[in-house]
Amino acid sequence: MPEDKVQISLRLPSNIVERFDALSGHLDRDRSWLMVRALKRYLEEEGADILDEAEGMVELDQGLGSDLDEVMRRAREIVTETATGNIRRTG
């Protein structure tokens, strides 16, 4: 099923457009295809990190975070249990 598409206007520095043009010539793809690919990659990587951090901040603002002291206490318990071979299974 084809994706819905929206036409946008974007001002870019000429050197960036020139680089996309050079790449498109070597890859036998059009400039739009390359730009869409670059934008998708950004959204999957850096963009996803930004959205995850923003979501985490909203959760903290809503009081949904974990108490650091409790997390550290539980981590020490796990390390001690692992070191002594006295591992409790949970879940």
Break the chain into its structural domains and give their ranges. Answer: 14-84
pLDDT digits (tens, 9 = 90+) for 41-74: 999 999 999 999 999 999 999 988 888 999 999 9
Q: Which residue has the higher pLDDT, 75 or 65?
A: 75
pLDDT tens figures, 6-18: 999 999 999 999 9
pLDDT top residue among 38 and 89: 38
Contacts of 33 (CB under 8 A, 6+ apart): 24
Mean pLDDT, rounded, of the chain: 92
